[in-house]
A and B are shown apart, each in its own frame.
Chain A
Amino acid sequence: MAATTEVRDEAQMIAKILAGDSQLFHELIRPYERRVYVMALSFLHNEADAEDAAQEAFLKAFRNLSSFRGEAKFGTWLVSITLNEARTRIRHRDTIKMESLDEPPDDQGHTLPALLRDWKEIPSEALERKEIRLLLQDAITALPLIYREVFQLRDIEQLSVNEAAAALGISIAAVKVRLHRARMMLQKKLAPELKQVAPKRRWAWS
């Protein structure tokens, strides 16, 4: 069968599912599997918990599909279900220190970036190396929750500022401020680390 470039009409798919074609739900969620899992993982820091939370989020989406209003995109709605699921689990998890959903009180100031004289581009091929992937994972998951969730939605899931604000239930201004801090925290941590580990071989001319 030739590859088709059909446009997904999610509103129509949802209408059909609600009308009884439940099997279509499998297709509806396929493009979101990764997004939901990664989001759960960045909260829960544990693959098994993240997988369980992701499954639960999809099940809740199925059970509550009739309450989905077409105002938001299905993907955004799914994001907010996943956020709720992950947050609930964090709150209920008593084995680890509870993370505050509020702004850390000692973090009112600015995050100063790591100062560098020069920067040599690190190409995406560097991600073939596990140590580089781990550096990035660790840096993201080490962000305080309120910054991590904004970073996750904006820079990993590529949601718009408005969509991220809606999913998180915070103002657009708060999204921008938190995103900026998250990015600066990552630059501060990662720029020196990447500079150290990346240039094992020479990229292009230098």
Chain B
Amino acid sequence: MDLSTTMAGEQRAVFAELLELHRGIVFKVAGSYCRHPDDRADLAQEIAAHLWQAYPRYDAGRPFSTWMYRIALNVAISHLRSQRQAATVPLDDGAAELVDPQARDPQTEQHVHALHRFIHAQAPLDRALLLLYLEDRGYREISEILGISETNVATKISRLKQRIRNEL
């Protein structure tokens, strides 16, 4: 086995470890942009493939999660825009899997379904902001991921909170 093969193998192992550690990001982004479980699995796969392709350019001095969010959101938004038939998917599609047989509180159930509908009713960029807000990411990180100023992030989150209060 030559040196380059060994290094590629090592790189892949490190990447697999990082992906395992931050896999929640991939699934949360895929879950926010696809309602149907099969589409979600495809998108998650697509995100993982793009992460792997971009991995040689990753700057280890910067947070891995920020880099991962950028790629995952870019892939998910492009995926959503390319799915022209997506508009015909019923709003409740995929909601069946949200049913928790052990759930006892009807209000919690109602909240979960309302939030799911609210997320999928957002425009692609607003959905990215909502996801990052729900994930408790700081304003600076959100601004770095989306490419807008921190002030703009603050303004948008304030409006988003207002909309959540009004609509949910």
Real complex partners, A and B? no
